[in-house]
Structure 1
Amino acid sequence: MWWRRKKRTLPDFCEDLARGVMALDEDASAAAMRGIIGSLDGAGPAELTEGVRRLLPAVQQVSIGNGGQLAQVAAGLIEAGADPFVLLEVLVERVTDGLEQAARFPVLVDKDGGGFDAPGSQEEADALIDRAARAAASAGISREEGIRLTESFFTIDEWIPSLLLPLQQKRVRQAFPGRERLAAAADAMTDHADAAPWMFGLLQVLDDEPFLVIHRPTGRAYRLTVSGVGDNFQLHTLLAATLIGDPAEGLIEGARPAPAWIAAATDGPDLQPSGGVRGQFELFGADGERIWGEGRPADIPVLDGHRVVVLDKPSYARSWNTGRVYPLMHPEISLDQKLPEPEAATWLKKITDPEAGH
């Protein structure tokens, strides 16, 4: 009937949440959250994207200290299928600015004796703010700025997940604004914000990166293109899965990684296969230095325009638990060329043998 009230949709509840957060109205915000949760399952990409769009003005304006809930809702909507680009620029700016302010807080409180704990009550929070205000006066900055540094330090971790999800999409990484500034800000907070190291790692991820892989025992060499790999453990598994095969076809003889290991390193639901993942090679850079599994592909040195990986026989059995560190980031690795023997031999001469005393 025409007089019946129109059913409220997810974008409506997102707009309610934005208003409630800006007004510091906890009851209205809680009601909006219930509405968002209740309508999320039935929402398609267009509705999810419109919901994110309704959050945009509040995400731009809310203080770092009060905006964590908005940022987390945005992350959830993006994970569910909203267009990540609607909020990307503003989230990058807010998170970068918040991290930079947060990194100044420990320096600020050092002026007031150093040492601090996260407040567990309103009384402790008020005491910490008063302390920051005293330190701000000593540092020649305003009380308001001292409070902003304090709020940022204790709440920026709530904002970071809003970027962890979109950064696991290749198209977002390729168009990501302000990468270097955000990476520097995240690096400065890795000891203080739990999510900062994860974001820093995503900002180091390579896409469409040329690799030159040399198998030292056979002298064979290969050109590959790599995208979306989180660490060198994952790279190890993917290289083995790509290059181990029929020697008659120019591949490396050996036992390929188990299907469960490959699935864990690509897009399988089980990131930690039973019994762990075992390595097939010893990895070195062109400089003869070992490539550690805990490192990242971006750490591998470049030689003549390629990141060079040298595969050697393993000196001991090694294994690791997790196939990939970013569950929603799907890697790409393509074998572009098996190099002719003369070209492979030329590359082999360029690299340093770790046994030669380098």
Structure 2
Amino acid sequence: MPDYCGDLAKGVIDLDEEASSAAMRGIIASLDTASPDELTEGVRRLLPAVQQVSIGNGGQAAQVAAGLIEAGADPFVLLDVLVERVTDGLEHAVRFPVLAEKDGAAFEAPGTQEEADALIERAARAAAQAGIGREEGLLITESFFTVDDWIPSLLLPLQQKRVRQALPGRERLAAAAEAMSDHADAAPWLFGLLRVIDDEPFLVIHRPTGRAYRLTISGVGDNFQLHTLLAATLIGDPAQGLIEGDRPAPAWIAAATDGPDLQPAGGVRGQFELFGADGERIWGEGRPADIPVLDGHRVVVLDRPSYARSWNTGRVYPLMHPEITLDRVLPAAEATAWLGRITDPSD
């Protein structure tokens, strides 16, 4: 495995398509039997290519590195380099639409060398009209059409909590991913992962009973998933301070945690209506990071559902395993005090 990765790095740097293809076949053939140490050394051998090659030629090496990380390689060997390359690529790419306006016609990704040569010339003319150098204009154009190939190299490792917690340059990367979300298919998925919160204290109040709970939550991709996990955690024996009701079906819980079937038959049904402490509805399409904080806690108010609601997917990031811990059931007096501080949506 490491030797094949070294061959791939050399082939990518030398722009040797035949050598790169042979190395790829070797990597694929040896992937299932490679040990974690071999996988990590393979990633290390890919480092020169990921660092050196242009953004237009390095996407394959970056994606191979991500595949090795998924198989068990140490994600930190390449993390800093990948973050820098992807961030830089996104920041250049987002400048392309303004550059393209100077040309006055639509740009399409080239499918042949002839089309690539024509694109280069058009980009160079547009750069001159925009008052920037030819090389910079070409880098902007190349980034726009190829940065999407690099983004998967971060989508896989960022589904690991330890990687999210150690991620360098998070705010800069998130801003760049958000800015490119309308232009690069993978950018919204990257931005979503960068908004994932970990080890966050949540205060959950069940309005019909006045009961309240303190939880710690990590690795939840959207509020549909959060809804299912809260129901699975808090619906139970009222004698233990939990909420009476029907817990989510096992297939729904599996889809929201670590089960292989992300879309259970018949979809996932909700048990509550979710509101923030400000009385605003918490929409399923949103993220836990959007939920307002009150005194150091993200507050979720569970209410009776006003209508039946369901959704298809249990979790949006298949390899990201959520953590949700019920730390304590609040005493009645403390729960009542919290209930008195939240806004009723009917007010």
Same fold (TM over 0.5): yes
Give per-residue Cα distances to partners, 1:87-141, cap 9 Å, x unaligned.
0000000000000011111111112215322223322222221111011112221
Give, in angstroms, the shift of residue 41 of structure 1. Answer: 1.3
Structure 2: distance between partners of 1:90 and 1:37: 23
1:135 aligns with 2:135: no
1:38 aligns with 2:38: no
The answer as to whether partners of 1:56 and 1:87 remain within 8 angstroms in 2 is yes
Q: Secondary structure at the match of 2:340?
A: helix
Q: Could you tell me which residue of structure 2 aligns to residue 214 of structure 1?
A: 205
Give per-residue Cα distances to partners, 1:183-223, cap 9 Å, x unaligned.
00000111111110001000000000000000000000000
Give per-residue Cα distances to partners, 1:293-348, cap 9 Å, x unaligned.
00000000011110000000000000000000000000000000111111111111
The AA in structure 2 aligned to 1:318 is: R
The answer as to whether partners of 1:106 and 1:114 remain within 8 angstroms in 2 is no
Aligned-residue RMSD, C-alpha: 0.8
Structure 2: distance between partners of 1:66 and 1:126: 15
Q: Mapping of 1:1-358 within 5 angstroms?
A: 10-356=1-347
The AA in structure 2 aligned to 1:89 is: D
Structure 2: distance between partners of 1:251 and 1:142: 65
The AA in structure 2 aligned to 1:236 is: H
Structure 2: distance between partners of 1:114 and 1:306: 50
Q: Could you tell me which residue of structure 2 aligns to residue 3 of structure 1?
A: none
The answer as to whether partners of 1:231 and 1:296 remain within 8 angstroms in 2 is yes
Q: Secondary structure at the match of 1:324?
A: coil
The AA in structure 2 aligned to 1:109 is: A
Task: Report the number of matched residues.
Answer: 347
Structure 1: distance between partners of 2:208 and 2:277: 15
The answer as to whether partners of 1:214 and 1:310 remain within 8 angstroms in 2 is yes
Structure 1: distance between partners of 2:342 and 2:293: 11
Give, in angstroms, the shift of residue 40 of structure 1. Answer: 1.1
* Percent identical: 85
Structure 2: distance between partners of 1:319 and 1:82: 38
Moved more, 24-33 or 45-54: 24-33
Moved more, 77-86 or 112-121: 112-121
Structure 1 residue runs without a partner (length 5+): 1-9
Moved more, 308-317 or 34-43: 34-43
Structure 2: distance between partners of 1:29 and 1:256: 52
Give per-residue Cα distances to partners, 1:228-256, cap 9 Å, x unaligned.
00000000000000000011110000000
Structure 2: distance between partners of 1:49 and 1:210: 34
Give per-residue Cα distances to partners, 1:252-311, cap 9 Å, x unaligned.
000000000000000000100011000000000001000000000000001111000000
The AA in structure 2 aligned to 1:229 is: V
Structure 1: distance between partners of 2:14 and 2:116: 21
Structure 1: distance between partners of 2:51 and 2:232: 45
The AA in structure 1 aligned to 2:228 is: T
Q: Secondary structure at the match of 2:33?
A: coil
Give, in angstroms, the shift of residue 58 of structure 1. Answer: 1.4
The AA in structure 2 aligned to 1:52 is: V
Give per-residue Cα distances to partners, 1:145-182, cap 9 Å, x unaligned.
11111111111111001100000000001101100000
The AA in structure 1 aligned to 2:34 is: A
Q: Secondary structure at the match of 2:281?
A: coil
Moved over 3 A (4+): none
